[in-house]
Amino acid sequence: MHELYLQGKVRQQAVDLAKTFERRKCNHREAIPGDECLSNVVGDTNKHRYVVATQSQSLRNGLRIIPAVPVVHINRAVMVLEPPSEATLKAKELTEEQSLRPSAPELATVPRDTPVSKKRKGPKGPNPLSIKKKKNPNPESTARPSQKSKAESSHISLSTVASPGQKRKRDSQDDKHEEQSAGMIGGAQSIASTRTRKRRRKAPAVSPSSS
């Protein structure tokens, strides 16, 4: 504002327009050049996020050293916003690296013995829930082996238990058949003996006259 007043009454319109905007106090007891005053207000880190619009080439060169300071100037009646400076890009990279690293309280919670495991990047497998299960053509083959073994063991136990009884039944039946056949044979022999006995008769005596 002091520099605008020094311009005289010719720049009175600029003074009146500047008074309509918000003004910040620089806390300088004596007036200093405008470039130095603006650089001091911005500071080393631009804490208050100022955007500086100036036509001074020396001031623009000084503000490029300070990170995160947008600079605007007019070139042939066109307002131009300068691209980010090298200091701004370096500060951005540092902040990104620090955001990726764990903080001090987070490192205190992590045990020192166990190393931090890194996630492996690679193709992921399909979701097991989305895969359809294959249908078995032979449902009998899907029976549990325990059930099969139980069924086989029960079949074997039944056969082993039933075999002695079956043999006994067969033996008793064979004995009955043998007795019946023996009785039939004995009756046939007795009938044959009676027939032979009946047939054996004495022949009649022949008379001498017939000879």
Q: Return averaged pLDDT per consecutive 10 residues of the chain, 211 residues in all.
A: 86 91 86 89 91 93 93 93 93 88 79 65 74 69 54 52 48 60 58 53 53 38
Q: What pLDDT is attached to residue 69?
A: 94
Which pLDDT score is estimated for 126? 76
Q: Which candidate, 67, 59, 69, 73, places its Cα nearest to that of 86?
A: 67
99, two tokens: 């955001």
CATH number belonging to the domain at 2-89, selected among 1.10.3720.10, 3.40.50.2000, 3.30.2350.10, 3.40.50.1010: 3.40.50.1010
17: left (phi over 0), alpha (psi -120 to 50) or beta: alpha
> Maximum distance among all alpha carbons in the chain?
210
SS3 content of the chain, % helix, strand, coil (to 5): 55, 5, 40
* C-alpha–C-alpha distance, residues 38 and 63, integer Å: 10
Domain segments of the chain as ranges: 2-89, 148-198
> How much is the pLDDT for 107?
76
Q: What pLDDT score was predicted for residue 165? A: 46
pTM: 0.46
For residue 99, the model assigns a pLDDT of: 85
